[in-house]
A and B are shown apart, each in its own frame.
Chain A
Amino acid sequence: MNPKIDIQGLSVYFNRVPYLRSVHLAVPANRILGIIGPSGSGKTTFLRALNRMNELEPGSHVEGSALLDGQDIYHPQYDVVGLRKKVGMVFALPVALPMSIYDNVVYGPRLSGNQRHRLDELVETSLKAAFLWDEVKDRLKTSALRLSGGQQQRLCLARTLALEPEVILLDEPCSGLDPISTAKIEEALTLLKERYTIILVTNNTKQAARISNETAFFLMGEMVEAGPTERIFTGPSDKRTNDYITGRFG
């Protein structure tokens, strides 16, 4: 079965300094891939390479390829803007745009010129999938800045879902949140994998163990090993993986 995303020898440099070295990884569709590793291991760089967000930093340079549905997203003719609608991203810090909840969710779809009636439908579906609908359905036109941190993060998830992407990238989405909000997001992701391919970077190994199907371990810009979550956590092949998981370094 062809992987959804096939990464072959991907390296990322910033001002000639390598942040990611020759990563080979096949990401299966409709699964959750967890990415673990200590700070500075290149997890975020890797994630941002998948929707070409690294290019926003001046001095960035990429080698190798990343195939999405068989097409290399780094090919010069590839439509970057379209890529970002196919591959959505939720950031670590919830950033609600200074507009109403409704406007936040439809921001992406509006850019594609979606019709009004479709938008209302889209808002409801996305907020429901992000487990936020019940809490905000009566105040969609109020400012999104009034929501709590956990609510804002779920809003960010809904905003990404409204684009109807195929892949969802999440960069430590629960890092600032309380356990209840974290649980809600994890529950949402587990349901969402039926329809999306999900890649989740997390500092919390227990979270990866809880919800991801496959796990990849990154260290100092290299991917050390990847495989089914159970195997990684109970019997990893590489000593470094074992040391990280058992907490010998962090």
Chain B
Amino acid sequence: MRIPPRITQLGAILILGSATLLTLAVLAFIIVFVLEKGLPVLSLRFLFTNPQDMGRAGGIFPTLVGTALLPLLAVAIATPLGVGTAVFLTEYTRESRVTNIIRFGTDCLAGIPSIIFGLFGFIFFVTTLRMGWSIASGGLTLAFMILPTIIRTSEEAVKAVPKSFREVSFSLGATRWQTVRKVILPNALPGIVTGVMLGVGRSIGETAAVIFTAGSSLRMPTSLLDSTRTMAVHFYILAREGISTENAYGTAAALVIAVLSVNLLAYWLMHRVMAKRS
């Protein structure tokens, strides 16, 4: 007996719909679970006092500082490199062997897992360059990690600037670099900032790459060569060593909120750019 197509379609819709709902439910559950268990622990005191007894008591202030400094350093290094690459690819050259090689390199870099970045950062920055476990080592390693993201989003942003703007600028006697500085970059800025924020979001959640380069010192960092512990690393240590489930939840909540806020901001910005364009 042949099942009529309408029935098959109904079945398909039910199955596909359930799969989708399951996916959404699981993802929602994760966030709700973390926030439910962690928000009660989150308080201004928790965030801004120093940890005591290896994190069994007290707050997470130094990790907050670490979580802020590492992405900051990473972004400070990766943004000029990423935007420069994007500008070169769009404005200064045509598609050729050279650009294909550059793109291939960027795509490959994007696919490297964080543990390999951790190994590299450890052998290169921490050991060979003798920077030790430090904010510097961690920031540089993270910069390499987020570079492809910034290149991709910057390239899209620069490409989206209307061609006529460039023509007008040239016809008014501007050089290419002047055109890039005065017309293209200001126009592409929101898109570039979106990419930067996505990079920041990724850096905040990173653990494997950070633990082997920035270390896990709970002391408040005073210089770029000091080791530091980010919230993600702190959470990992608290959870795995079973030091304090309660503080683990609190840290997790802070972590999740931080990451989601940054990503949300990035998406909102991207949305505004799209809307302005149309």
Measured CB to CB, the residues of A under 8 A from B are 51, 53, 56, 58, 81-82, 84-85, 88-89, 91, 93, 95, 97-98, 107-108, 111-112, 156, 159-160, 163
Contact of B172 among A58, A82, A84 (CB under 8 A): A84
Contacts of B175 in A (CB 8 A): 81
By the criterion CB–CB under 8 Å, are B167 and A53 in contact? yes
By the criterion CB–CB under 8 Å, are A58 and B94 in contact? yes
By the criterion CB–CB under 8 Å, are B168 and A88 in contact? no
Task: Give the docked Cα–Cα distance between A156 and B164 (Å).
Answer: 13
Question: Are A163 and B169 also in contact (CB < 8 A) when A95-B164, A111-B178 are?
Answer: no
In B179-215, which residues have CB < 8 Å from any A CB?
182-183, 186-187
Task: Give the docked Cα–Cα distance between A101 and B2 (Å).
Answer: 71
Contacts of A53 in B (CB 8 A): 167, 170-171
By the criterion CB–CB under 8 Å, are A56 and B170 in contact? yes
Report if B111 contacts A (CB, 8 A): no
Task: Give the docked Cα–Cα distance between A95 and B172 (Å).
Answer: 12
Smallest CB separation, A189 vs chain B (Å): 18
Question: Are A98 and B187 also in contact (CB < 8 A) when A91-B167, A107-B182 are?
Answer: yes
Question: Are A84 and B170 also in contact (CB < 8 A) when A91-B164, A95-B164, A97-B183 are?
Answer: yes
Question: Are A95 and B167 also in contact (CB < 8 A) when A81-B175, A84-B172, A159-B172 are?
Answer: yes
Report if B165 contacts A (CB, 8 A): yes
Of all chain B residues, the one with the shortest Cβ separation from A56 is B170
Of all chain A residues, the one with the shortest Cβ separation from B178 is A111
By the criterion CB–CB under 8 Å, are A97 and B173 in contact? no
Of all chain A residues, the one with the shortest Cβ separation from B187 is A98
Report if B174 contacts A (CB, 8 A): yes
> Apart from A97-B183, A107-B174, A111-B173, what are 10 other A-B pairs with CB-CB below 8 Å?
A56-B167, A81-B173, A84-B170, A84-B172, A91-B171, A95-B164, A97-B165, A98-B165, A98-B187, A108-B174
